Amino acid sequence: MLKNIENYMVLSNHESGNGRPDILLKYPSVRGKAVIIEIKVAHTYQELDSKCDEALRQVEDQKYEEALKQEGYTDILKYGIAFYRKECMVK
């Protein structure tokens, strides 16, 4: 689905920091944006919020943005996404 995003490179489970974020989007020039997306699955509807928080904590704890910073990116967006059945929450 993300492969058609114009001008962005899409990387899945690409090593970054101390782990592998689910999805990285990078503009070819470091003057553009980079996006880190971490995805979690909730077991209940009420758990969506905490799973989004867990995903964002993982991005920080595993230092996923470090490799992007070393490449020269300064505009880095981080998203935690949680799914429960057909429901979705994004932070």
The domain spans of the chain are 2-90
Give the model's pLDDT for residue 1: 60
Give the model's pLDDT for residue 80: 97
From first to last of its 91 residues, what are the pLDDT tens digits of the chain? 666 677 888 887 665 656 788 899 999 899 999 999 999 999 999 999 999 999 999 999 999 999 999 999 999 999 999 999 999 999 9
Burial class for 50, CB neighbours closer than 10 Å (0-12, 13-18, 19+)? middle
Q: Is 2-90 assigned to CATH 1.20.58? A: no
